[in-house]
Amino acid sequence: QVQLVESGGGLVQTGDSLRLSCAASGRTFRRYIMGWFRQAPGKEREFVAAITRSGENIYYADSVKGRFTIARDNAKNTVYLQMNRLKPEDTAVYYCAVDENYRGTYYYLGSYDYWGQGTQVTVSS
């Protein structure tokens, strides 16, 4: 069982930045693919970004490419999502997730085994 705790959300204005953090329990964090997803009101949960074990491969949704950066610190069991130039359409609850079986289909919700409780990001216009 892996427990995930997100933090760093908040209310910001268009063009501002936020950094989300996700701390994971357990001693095998370095083996996991880590992903960030988001869910806006009335919409399905969607892929945002993913990073492989040592950060050798990183993936982004087209909607955030060039504005968001995913990174991980395996010594701290933490994955980050740096979000720059935020837009109102980025407003959502952001979730981190663990693919402990290295399925590799990083954009697919079903590839992930554990999820955090989410952190709210609200971008005002």
- For 49-93, what is each residue's pLDDT tens digit? 999 999 999 999 999 999 999 999 999 999 999 999 999 999 999
Beta carbons within 10 angstroms of residue 55's beta carbon: 14
What confidence tens digit (pLDDT) does each residue in 82-114 have?
999 999 999 999 999 999 988 879 999 999 999
Nearest Cα to Cα of residue 119 among 102, 94, 88 = 94
Question: Using alpha carbons only, what angle is made at residue 80 by residues 95 and 14, rounded to the nearest 5 degrees?
Answer: 75
59: left (phi over 0), alpha (psi -120 to 50) or beta: beta
Beta carbons within 10 angstroms of residue 12's beta carbon: 17
Q: List, in sequence order, every residue forming a beta bridge with 78; answer none if it has no partner.
A: 23, 73
What confidence tens digit (pLDDT) does each residue in 3-45 have?
999 999 999 999 999 999 999 998 888 889 999 999 999 999 9
